[in-house]
Structure 1
């Protein structure tokens, strides 16, 4: 069974304008395919949970849409296809779909072959001692990046994509701080002390196309940690343009290394975000690579990657 599921709230609500066009296209080219655009998240999740195992779901939306639907997709062993209509679209970039017109993306989503890709799982404890399990597809950020993502949610509506993220970054610089983190990768301590951020990447980019870990791949059986030590406003402002072009990894204040399990401890709580969606403050965090857990329709495979331990 195949169903096309559109998130009408994607792109700040602009994705809803595509509903008539998608319905007309499907009637002309795939009349047997079901289409739905539920207004509420619980309605979308109910539809996904009711699909037969192994069905193909074509998600029309962005990274936030995929993050909200991912638990249901994984639990029902659904095949995920994507028509990019989000603000960030970092998953679409990693899947080789970014830049396609929506008819081309929809045609490929319906007919393209699926392949196994990795996902991440964040197991974390909040300030109240409650435990949470949060799967993610693109990134799990801890620290400055999460604070930027939260601020971006309240940014000007006329700013979209990367400009909105840059606006939020500059705003967050006013309140720049670090967090006392203890970080281990595959049981090896790699950082302890003041840390600006400690992010986990499954895709090469985050924050609407910033190539944070250009060599990262979604099908190599590992995630990539990107850590930044303490730096002031001038240091962040100096790093930002290099980050935009993927030339930041030579900075000695940064570490980049692959891992299968990452452990982060922070007594006072560090802000977390998954695929750009703010989660809350965590005192303990375990990030696991879930190798080949998701069947996804992509346009490229990137399993041959150079090993990178530290920048």
Structure 2
């Protein structure tokens, strides 16, 4: 079946638009049968995917946010996902072994590589059910994601998230959380955040749960407990180096189902995209529901 190559010109703060002509030219030379589309509007992008033959291949030129917004359509049509990572986050691309590939190498792989099954997560809250590919942040890290989404366009990737982290430290707030992992109470007390990861990293490459896998039928919970401003600031270099998991206020757990309750509104962000705050939500793993092309 003919593949659709869909470029999100808003990815990476609008810098992805510069790839439109080079991608067209590459496709004309190497994959003339492929259909190319530029989708400024998410509604048009969704309509394009809804019109694709079931089981066909879609190559998204964008980042985690691009994938996140189109996950419902990818799942509804059982589409095969190829990814050319040019976004600000690219944590799903990292888990797929695509981080650091030149865009033309990633495009060739996305069009011609074999696909394998990938897990997803699903958030359920008052707003309904929503799938996510990389992470569901709840608390301080979700507030960081919101600040990063509103940050200066000249910052991208990990520096953008670090800028947002330093900004959020000034308004640091812990919340009392009750976290249930597969039906059992796992945490009851103050915490900075209680976030769920499918990929080893989030926040544009921070190795939050280095052992997480996207094909093991489980998600990984990461809880940061009673940290103040100084403690959070000192923990940041440990997180960037992946050495934070030994801290007594940091805990992880693998799970199939999870529930979080909070007495006040809790900020949320899925795949780096800010969502409406809520006081309770649940998450479950969706094993192997997405077919995706990996680097090897």
* Cα-to-partner distance string for 1:5-41 (whole Å, 9 max, x where unaligned): 0101001011011000000000001100100012111
- Does residue 1:287 correspond to 2:283, yes or no? yes
The residue that corresponds to 1:148 in the other structure is 144
Q: How does 1:1-311 map to 2 (within 5 A)?
A: 1=1, 2-125=3-126, 131-300=127-296
* Cα-to-partner distance string for 1:280-307 (whole Å, 9 max, x where unaligned): 111221100000010000124xxxxxxx
Q: CA RMSD in A?
A: 0.8
* Cα-to-partner distance string for 1:46-99 (whole Å, 9 max, x where unaligned): 000111110100000000000001111011110011001101110110000011
1:179, 1:281 → 2: CA distance? Answer: 13
- Please give the TM-score of this superposition, normalised by the length of structure 1: 0.94
- Please give the TM-score of this superposition, normalised by the length of structure 2: 0.98
Superposed displacement of residue 153, structure 1: 1.5
1:43, 1:34 → 2: CA distance? Answer: 15
1:275, 1:177 → 2: CA distance? Answer: 22
Contact 2:149 2:273 (C-alpha < 8 Å) held by counterparts: no
Q: Which structure 1 segments of 5+ residues have no match?
A: 126-130, 301-311
SS at match of 2:45: helix
1:140, 1:38 → 2: CA distance? Answer: 25
SS at match of 2:48: helix
How many positions carry a matched residue from both structures? 295
* Cα-to-partner distance string for 1:80-123 (whole Å, 9 max, x where unaligned): 11001101110110000011111110100011000001000000
Q: Which structure 2 segments of 5+ residues have no match?
A: none
2:229, 2:263 → 1: CA distance? Answer: 25
Contact 2:174 2:191 (C-alpha < 8 Å) held by counterparts: yes
The residue that corresponds to 1:307 in the other structure is none
1:159, 1:12 → 2: CA distance? Answer: 9
2:40, 2:196 → 1: CA distance? Answer: 31
Shift >6 Å, 4+ stretches: none
Superposed displacement of residue 267, structure 1: 2.7
SS at match of 2:71: helix
